[in-house]
Chain A
Amino acid sequence: MAQSARQRGGRPATLGRIHSMNGASTVVRSIWRERVSYLFLLPILVLYGVFSLWPIVQTFYLSFYDAKIVRLGPFVGLKNYLAINNSAFLQAFGNTVIFTVLSIALILVIAIPLAVLVNSPGLRFKTVFKVAYFLPVVTSFVAAGYIWKWMYEPTYGVVNRFLALFGIHGPNWLSTLKLALLSVVIVNVWKWVGYFIVILLANLQLIDPALYEVASIDGAGTLQQFFHITLPLLTGAIGLCVLLGVINFFSAFALVFVMTRGGPGGRTELLATYLYKEAFGTGQLRIGYSSAASVVLFALLIAFTFISNRAFRAEV
């Protein structure tokens, strides 16, 4: 369907090419005709240019200097980039990858079945369920971090109190080396899963109910319908979820900052908290070095978006 729309979209373009053979004046004329449009575009261009594009360009520029916050310092070429190859950065990078992949996987495993169930025909209290799942999404990361930090508290926290009811001595969730990252991932999943349920639900509602009727007449069971109708038709939406997950989780900051500050022993250090520490956290103000690390982060995000966009489009 998207294919045919693009083909239809192709026609005015060829017409435009024929027009432009008359000379550049048509282009100038159409630009002049749209002069008010450009006036309307000006505010957003200025805003995004100054507060999004410019900081990115500046980060890129600073990454080649031995910059401190007040002065630029000497040009050092690729030195900052070569310095990135150290164990602290690589640990933060590895943690970020685990954090992102694990969060996305858990969210999809929880969100897809819940969205399908909420979408079941004739279900009552649909809105109540949706609202309940969405509550964490509209909660600030700082509040979410503190709620869970205290819920995880080893002696008085409700998680271990609950486990104690069954005679289980709960661990110290946030300071046990092997558990800390997983504990943070659980909070991240709780915080985001509702958002993905709503996105999946919106796409589920686009599926023609007749498909299920035909399938059930043909004798397909609920599970078969899920795997042969629902899941294939959700591919695009799942792709969008993965993309949104990567963009948001790869740059996650506040949750970890509030709950663990990257500890214990750097086990929950993420790229964004690492950048913050190097730039502002230690008083060393290694702006140039952190900028280089930021550039690596941008590059990864942009590359991933392009790759997934390609895969996504091939799918449609």
Chain B
Amino acid sequence: MRHKLTLSTVLSKTAVYGILTIAALLMAFPFYWMVITTLKPANEVYTMGIGLIPSRLSLDMYRMLLSRPQMPVGRFFINSVVISLGSTVITVITAVLAAYPLSRRKVPGGRLVYLLIIATMMVPGDVVMIGIVLLCNALKMINTYQGMILPLAVNAVIFLVIHNYTLQLPKEIDEAALVDGANMWQVLRHIIIPLSLPAIFSAALLSFLCSWQSFTIPYLLAQSTKMYPLSVAALLPESTLFATMQETLSLATILTLPTLIVFVLTQRWVFGGITMGAVKG
């Protein structure tokens, strides 16, 4: 009955595709507008009319931005990469190490450790900004990479993604290996990690996308321009008097494109990671 092609099913199908497409265009439009504004010839930015299709595309704005010595965009980019990769590596390693005993062994006090980790989700990093600034000040980590990386490495969602995955691997595999005389480290390295690679990859992607966006902690801890990641450097045009729409949006584009590209290429694992973290939640 469902496969019969009646007028009403055609109409309802059209409606479904129509609604989904309009919603998708609305969600994606701001990105189109951002990119097209930065590629317009400068004299077309402040003209009347909606201006969605420029007369020609120009890279002048980017050329100007990259040539300005007080705006080391390359350095900002490297800072973002260092901070995001650094916190990702630390988050994932600590999460894998903890997830194995917590999900697969009866550790006295393990439940308490699990709850403590999960509890940190209730108090996001931005809310503890005073405490983090004072701590990093005491540890002499203001304006250093480690000062920005370590607070960002606290991310219980990443732990949950890996924990929920290792929890559902069959118990027999590592028990058999332990009976055969393997130690915990060998089990982790040769059984748990290889079997959990999809979850570890998903978790690493989520962590990377998350730290790349982070603003509050780097903003408070990076004091000199050369330590700014892109997310903080994007504020620079506004702090000078010559801020233009094109300049601000060009930096926003440079800040946005890397995560958009990474996400589009790896969407399967990103969605997988969110599902793993949320369905069992």
Contacts and interface: CB of A to CB of B under 8 A. Distances in A.
Contact of A190 (B30, B108, B126, B253): B30
Given A114-B20, A140-B212, A161-B49, A37 B107 contact: yes
A48 B260 CA distance: 29
A207 interface: no
Nearest to B210: A138
A146 to B, nearest CB: 5
Contact of B267 (A134, A139, A141, A202): A134
Interface residues of A, number: 95
B252 A47 contact: no
A203 interface: yes
A245 interface: no
Contacts of A150: 37, 245, 248-249
A117 interface: yes
A97 interface: no
Nearest to B19: A117
Interface stretch (A78-86, A101-109, A172-180, A286-294): A286-294
Contacts of B28: 132, 135
A229 interface: no
Contact of A44 (B31, B106, B117): B117
Interface size class of B (residues with CB under 8 A): 35 or more
Interface string A31-50: 10010111011011101101
Contacts of B264: 131
Interface in A146-190: 146-148, 150-151, 153, 156, 158, 161-162, 165, 190
A51 B234 contact: no
Contacts of A275: 127, 129-130
A191 B50 CA distance: 23
Contacts of A123: 16, 20
A99 interface: no
A231 interface: no
Contact of A51 (B48, B108, B154, B216): B154
Interface in A109-134: 110, 113-114, 117-118, 120, 123, 127-134
B215 A254 contact: yes
Interface in A14-67: 27, 30-31, 34, 36-38, 40-41, 43-45, 47-48, 50-59, 62
A144 to B, nearest CB: 8
A194 B27 CA distance: 9
Interface in B255-281: 255-256, 259-260, 262-264, 267, 270-271, 274-275, 278-279, 281
Interface in B104-156: 105-108, 110, 113, 116-117, 120-135, 137, 150-151, 153-154
Nearest to B116: A48
B266 to A, nearest CB: 10
A34 B100 CA distance: 12
Contact of B30 (A59, A113, A151, A297): A151
Given A31-B108, A51-B154, A123-B16, A139 B260 contact: yes
Contacts of A30: 106, 108
Nearest to B217: A51
A234 interface: no
A233 interface: no
B65 interface: no
A214 interface: no
A215 interface: no
B97 interface: yes
A279 interface: yes
Contacts, number: 275
B159 A44 contact: yes
B242 interface: no
Contact of A129 (B20, B123, B279): B20
A43 B128 CA distance: 21
A27 B127 contact: no
Nearest to A193: B27
A199 B231 contact: no
Contacts of A262: none
Given A37-B107, A43-B98, A143-B252, A136 B117 contact: no
A138 to B, nearest CB: 4
A301 interface: yes
A6 to B, nearest CB: 13
B131 A56 contact: yes
A224 interface: no
Interface stretch (B53-61, B71-79, B88-96): B88-96
Contact of B259 (A139, A276, A290): A139
17 contacts: A30-B108, A31-B108, A44-B159, A55-B135, A59-B128, A69-B137, A123-B16, A138-B259, A140-B231, A141-B215, A141-B231, A156-B45, A156-B46, A190-B30, A198-B275, A247-B124, A279-B129
Interface of B: 16, 19-20, 23-25, 27-28, 30-31, 33-34, 37, 45-46, 48-52, 90, 93-95, 97-98, 100-102, 105-108, 110, 113, 116-117, 120-135, 137, 150-151, 153-154, 159, 183-185, 188, 209, 212-213, 215-216, 220, 230-232, 234-235, 245, 248-249, 252-253, 255-256, 259-260, 262-264, 267, 270-271, 274-275, 278-279, 281
Given A135-B260, A143-B255, 18 more contacts: A30-B108, A36-B101, A37-B105, A44-B95, A47-B90, A52-B123, A55-B128, A117-B19, A132-B27, A133-B24, A138-B213, A139-B259, A143-B253, A147-B30, A195-B274, A198-B271, A294-B131, A302-B122
